[in-house]
Amino acid sequence: MTAVDDKPTSTTSQIGVSRKRKEDRHLVTGRTTWVDNMILPGMVHLAILRSPMAHAKIASIDVSGARTAPGVLGAWSGRDFADVQGDLPCAWPVTPDMVNPGAPSLAVDQVNFAGDAVAVVAARTKGEAVDALEEIDVDYEPLPAVLDLEAALADGADLVHESAGTNKSYSWELDSAAAGSGGSVEDAARDAEVTVKRRFIQQRLSPGFMEPRSVVVQPADEAVTIWSSTQIPHILRTMLGLTLGIDEHKVRVVAPDVGGGFGGKITITPEEVIATLVARELGRPAKYTESRSESMSAAHHGRGQIQDLTITATRDGKVTGLDVHLIADMGAYLRLLTPGVPVLGAFMFPGIYKFPSYRFRCDGVFTTKVPTDAYRGAGRPEATFGIERIMDELAAELDMDPLELRRKNWITHEEFPFTTVAGLTYDSGNYEAATEKALELAGWEELKAEQARRRESNDPVQLGLGISTFTEMCGLAPSRVLGSLDYAAGGWESASVRVLPTGKVEVVTGISPHGQGHVTGFSQIVADRLGVPFEDVEIIHGDTQSSPKGLDTYGSRSLTVGGVAVVQAVDKVIEKARKIAAHMMEANEDDLEYADGKFSVAGAPSSSVPFGDIAFAVFSAHDLPEGMEPTLNSEATYDPGNFSFPHGTHLCAVEVDTETGHVAIRTYACVDDIGTPINPMLIDGQVHGGLAQGIAQALYEEAVYDDDGNLVTGSFVDYTLPTAADLPTFHTDRTVTPSTDNPLGVKGVGEAGTIASTPAVVNAVVDALRPLGINDITMPCTPERVWRAIQDHANGSEGAAR
Amino acid sequence: MTRISVQVDGVEYTDDVEPRTLLVHYLREQLGKTGTVVGCDTSNCGACTVHLDGSSVKSCTVLAVQADGQAVDTVEGLAKDGELHPMQQAFTDCHSLQCGYCTPGMIMASIDLLKDNPDPTEEEIRTGLEGNLCRCTGYQNIVRAVQQVAGSERS
């Protein structure tokens, strides 16, 4: 539990203090600005007709019945907008020959997943719009559903997009021998004393943000204002302009209160395009808010991979090679980042270990399912799962303690900076310290003793112990590196500081939060650096009119990139203020010290000028240094030189009831090293939420399609989001190894819990069952899957439960 | 259309509603009380939880006509004279919200939970909040907030 110190004295550093959130008051009182709360004069409400079939030709579509329904102002099919809607953008063409069949917002001639949008109705009320959908006639000619990833790649497979001639979008490869970052996996395989091969399945997941996606579009002549529940207002502005041919400077995007994202709101959505088309067509504001079932079927999914891993090692436990082949499910279309997600994971498979050789190959495959795209961690949780699971399997093969195997192979504290076999240079880390602290936090030795007792007594409830040591690449920037990965945009972030006449400070950031507490964290950074009260700082974000330059929030880049931009902008203000203070004090600026919000002459602290006086002097501009422009504003853009690499050790003990298959988490303890902590309360919150999502992948969540391609987990009735009763109290702690690549020393925390927890839990479940000869359970490890695995083994079947 | 009279957060309203209108839509669309939000179509998430004559209900499973003659309390009526309700204060103190979308419903459910059981165990709190989903907090800090209020009510 974190102590909350809400009133640090003015001389106390604001960094590392658990300040309560500035954001909370309007949220706990219900005075919020969710997009769906908006009502504009003349606004129409939209309802979207969605395909009930996974794959079909649209033989005919007739919306005329809807046009005459009560309250309706217009109805359009994809054919009506075919010439103007463009294709939704994909910003990550991972290979030059990547197949991209295009992604229309409204299907024109063919639907490619159940939930694909085919028509839209605008009416006075949402109810009338929904009612009118009944009056649209669509004649579908069914095509075969394409669901199985391997079958989709086989010769003669049914094709999702006939015109593409293939279901394979791309093949992407990283080979350490070819890249010069390591040896060849073929050589390692030839010389291997021990080889372990495993197939792991990353099931599809629904991001499950609590606020359904919503968009309001207000047209005005050539211009358009879009309020959207999005993580990426700046990217949306640029991309929507390009998609619809609207000049970018005529597009304003506002992300007001956004009710969670988890990557699920990093994309340009069909609904944003459709609402814009309708609003411009009618010349009046238009609102679309999805239902939860629409969200489950039509907002993108995360994960969706088959992972075939081969690890080689010496008999005494030194790893010699890692060979990874992924088949990644793109779904029906390439959305903003779809093909790039597994490629990002390529760099994380070697994890924290010193692999002499490494190869990663990935095939991106089209299926008749909703597209995949970013979901909390995006590529890195999948990779971490693969390596942390197979390290446990290797340990079992070697009859070695999983922790001992990790210690034999991880990068030691003295070896940083360390360039990995995947070509990344980790700046700093201390895996030993985090692990030691986690073992103590969990009471690991006591748990091991209890496990031994239960095994010996054949207790029907067995204890399983799981370890996950991890690192990740955060702070998604260096623009140069993103360019080398063929990502279309840069990774810099911008900030500006505006000093008001009364000495209050407005800080404009290009990041766009959706629950993380950036307003509080950034206020702390500014208050600390500028020496002004925390309350005197306002953080402005999420509106391209007031914060025109930015790349938004994802991949733990807000603090590591955006926070550093804020620091740089603040420093520019201090430097200009120093000149003014020197002028006011008739002193040499080199003799001035700045501390606690005032300038004073070194050695003579009694004569000083507070920041507020300087702000007013700039406003009045009566007596500034000759030729000085009367503003105290600044701007900075930061493009880091490297990613940041948070790491940690997560330990999980589960109780597995071998009679029912039920899995309950007994203890969950983790120590994360995210560099310098800014606000420990916010950090714990991010870790808790991340753990919940990662544990849910291990035990509860899965987006399931039936054999015809219908989503059978289309609501919160069928898709198991964990409740308070499903999760334990987490034991969290930190070690601090500052990043050496940025001046704040921060590394990022948003994904850590999600990345590390899934393998920790599954390793624990498998550990409980290993004495029964079971070496894998496919996620989620539901009671039925666990029970079947136990039964199958008892009946003599081999291998993992599927 | 059916005429109903409902007291919402202490204010009397008389309105004509379609018989199919759900209480949450009446609150949001006819009264403009958008503090109460919709998160799902199936009454699973609890984001729309309000109190109907003092007991928590999911306002997406109650018809507006069923509230006729009754008192509805929402998150918007909890703070008095600028002072947060103890549960609102506890959610702030304990960092029990991140995006805040589930928060109104979670606060209303938590208040009702303590009304029925003023001194709950952690397990009773977790079970008591099973009908309200949160995607951000992992629930731990929500449980702490309820414990904080329970403690202060005991003292």
**pLDDT confidence band for A339 (50 / 70 / 90):** very high
The one-letter code for the residue type at A212 is P
How many whole angstroms separate alpha carbon A176 and alpha carbon A170?
20
Residue B121 lies in a domain: yes
Domain boundaries, chain A: 24-32+492-638, 43-387
User: Do both B68 and B131 map to the same domain?
Assistant: no
Residues constituting chain B:
155
Q: SS3 for A159? A: coil
The CATH code of the domain at A43-387 is 3.90.1170.50
pLDDT(B144) > 90: yes
Give the strands of the sheet with A647-657, arranged side by side: A461-471, A647-657, A663-673, A731-734
Determine contact, residues A303/A247, Cβ cutoff 8 Å. no
Q: Would strands A505-509 and A537-540 be described as parallel, antiparallel, or unpaired?
A: parallel
Sort residue A204 into left (φ over 0), alpha (ψ -120 to 50) or beta. Answer: beta
User: Do both B24 and B67 map to the same domain?
Assistant: yes
H or E element: which one contains A313?
strand A302-313
Average pLDDT of the segment spanning A177-189: 98
Burial class from Cβ neighbours inside 10 Å (0-12, 13-18, 19+) for residue A185 reads: buried
* Chain centre distance of CA A138: 37
User: Do both B49 and B97 map to the same domain?
Assistant: no
Site from B48, B94, B139, B147 to mutate, A interface, most A CB atoms within 10 angstroms: B139
H or E element: which one contains A234?
helix A233-244
Kindly report the CATH number assigned to the domain that includes residue B54: 3.10.20.30
Per-residue pLDDT at A605: 75
**pLDDT confidence band for A604 (50 / 70 / 90):** confident
- Nearest residue in B to A207, CA atom: B135
* pLDDT tens-digit series, residues A361-386: 999 999 999 999 999 999 999 999 99
How many whole angstroms separate alpha carbon A472 and alpha carbon A749?
10
Dihedral of alpha carbons A202, A335, A711, A148, sign = negative
Contact B44 A692 (CB under 8 A): no
- Is A518 at the interface with chain B, CB within 8 A? no
- Nearest residue in B to A683, CA atom: B95
Residue A220: partners with Cβ closer than 8 Å, 6 or more residues away: none
Q: Closest to A715 (Cβ–Cβ): which among B40, B97, B101? A: B40
pLDDT(A801) > 50: no
* pLDDT tens-digit series, residues A238-284: 999 999 999 999 999 999 999 999 999 999 999 999 999 999 999 99
State which of B75, B107, B126 marks the end of a domain. Answer: B75
Contact B127 A291 (CB under 8 A): no
Task: Write out chain A residues lying below 8 Å of B36, CB-based.
Answer: 30
User: Do both B68 and B110 map to the same domain?
Assistant: no
- Is A40 at the interface with chain B, CB within 8 A? no
Chains A, B: CB pairs < 8 Å: 181
Task: Write out chain A residues lying below 8 Å of B131, CB-based.
Answer: 723
User: Do both B96 and B140 map to the same domain?
Assistant: yes
Mean pLDDT estimate for chain A: 96
The boundaries of the domain holding residue B53 are 2-75
Contact B141 A514 (CB under 8 A): no
Kindly report the CATH number assigned to the domain that includes residue B92: 1.10.150.120
Residue B152: partners with Cβ closer than 8 Å, 6 or more residues away: B86
The one-letter code for the residue type at A340 is G
Number of H helices, E strands in chain B: 5, 5
Residue B14 lies in a domain: yes
Determine contact, residues A515/B136, Cβ cutoff 8 Å. yes
How many whole angstroms separate alpha carbon A493 and alpha carbon A636?
8
Q: SS3 for A133? A: helix
pLDDT(A706) > 70: yes
How many whole angstroms separate alpha carbon A531 and alpha carbon A421?
44
User: Which tokens hold the place of B130?
Assistant: 């099973």
Determine contact, residues A516/A750, Cβ cutoff 8 Å. yes
State which of B46, B75, B104 marks the end of a domain. Answer: B75
State which of B52, B75, B98 marks the end of a domain. Answer: B75
Domain A24-32+492-638 CATH (choose: 3.30.70.2740, 3.30.365.10, 3.40.50.720, 3.40.50.300): 3.30.365.10
* pLDDT tens-digit series, residues A524-568: 999 999 999 999 999 999 999 999 999 999 999 999 999 999 999
Task: Write out chain A residues lying below 8 Å of B139, CB-based.
Answer: 688, 692, 723-724, 727
H or E element: which one contains A310?
strand A302-313
* Backbone angles phi and psi of B141, in degrees to 5: -75, -20
Inter-helix orientation angle B140-154/B86-93, to 10°: 130
**pLDDT confidence band for A1 (50 / 70 / 90):** very low
Average pLDDT of the segment spanning A61-83: 98
Residue B80 lies in a domain: no
**pLDDT confidence band for B155 (50 / 70 / 90):** very low
* CB proximity under 8 Å: A 655-684 to B: 681-682, 684
Average pLDDT of the segment spanning A708-712: 98
Query: Closest Cα partner for A207 from B136, B45, B36?
Result: B136
User: Do both B119 and B58 map to the same domain?
Assistant: no
Determine contact, residues A577/A464, Cβ cutoff 8 Å. no
Query: Closest Cα partner for B138 from A26, A754, A680, A647?
Result: A754
User: Do both B120 and B66 map to the same domain?
Assistant: no
Determine contact, residues B88/A28, Cβ cutoff 8 Å. yes
Strand partners, A61: A138
Determine contact, residues A750/A674, Cβ cutoff 8 Å. no
The one-letter code for the residue type at A146 is V
User: Which tokens hold the place of A402?
Assistant: 């999983």
Average pLDDT of the segment spanning A96-111: 98
Task: Write out chain B residues lying below 8 Å of A262, CB-based.
Answer: 135
Contact A32 B100 (CB under 8 A): yes
Query: Closest Cα partner for B64 from B109, B18, B96?
Result: B18
* pLDDT tens-digit series, residues A284-316: 999 999 999 999 999 999 999 999 999 999 999
Contact A29 B78 (CB under 8 A): yes
- Residue holding tokens 């991949």? A555
What's the alpha-carbon Rg for chain A, to the nearest Å?
28
Contact B104 A210 (CB under 8 A): no
User: Do both B23 and B46 map to the same domain?
Assistant: yes
Query: Closest Cα partner for A736 from A429, A442, A426, A418?
Result: A429
How many whole angstroms separate alpha carbon A9 and alpha carbon A600?
20
Q: Closest to B133 (Cβ–Cβ): which among A36, A210, A515? A: A210
Q: So what's the ipTM on this one?
A: 0.98
Site from A28, A38, A375, A688 to mutate, B interface, most B CB atoms within 10 angstroms: A28
* pLDDT tens-digit series, residues A111-169: 999 999 999 999 999 999 999 999 999 999 999 999 999 999 999 999 999 999 999 99
Determine contact, residues A410/A352, Cβ cutoff 8 Å. yes
Query: Closest Cα partner for A476 from A401, A397, A374, A544?
Result: A374
Task: Write out chain A residues lying below 8 Å of B35, CB-based.
Answer: 29-32
CA of A794 vs chain B CAs: smallest distance (Å): 35
How many whole angstroms separate alpha carbon A374 and alpha carbon B32?
35
Give the strands of the sheet with B49-52, arranged side by side: B11-17, B2-8, B71-73, B49-52, B55-58
Per-residue pLDDT at A5: 52
pLDDT(A802) > 50: no
Return the percentage of chain A with pLDDT > 70, whole number. Answer: 98
Residue B126 lies in a domain: yes
Query: Closest Cα partner for A227 from A38, A374, A501?
Result: A38
Contact B99 A210 (CB under 8 A): yes
* CB proximity under 8 Å: A 218-257 to B: 257
Site from A7, A21, A29 to mutate, B interface, most B CB atoms within 10 angstroms: A29
Determine contact, residues A556/A564, Cβ cutoff 8 Å. no
Query: Closest Cα partner for A468 from A304, A686, A697?
Result: A697
Determine contact, residues A216/A34, Cβ cutoff 8 Å. no
How many whole angstroms separate alpha carbon B130 and alpha carbon A723?
5
Structural domain count, chain B: 2
Measured between alpha carbons, how far is residue A544 from residues A219, A227, A445, A751 in Å? 16, 11, 54, 26
Determine contact, residues A491/A477, Cβ cutoff 8 Å. yes
* Backbone angles phi and psi of A118, in degrees to 5: -120, -25
How many whole angstroms separate alpha carbon A561 and alpha carbon A512?
13
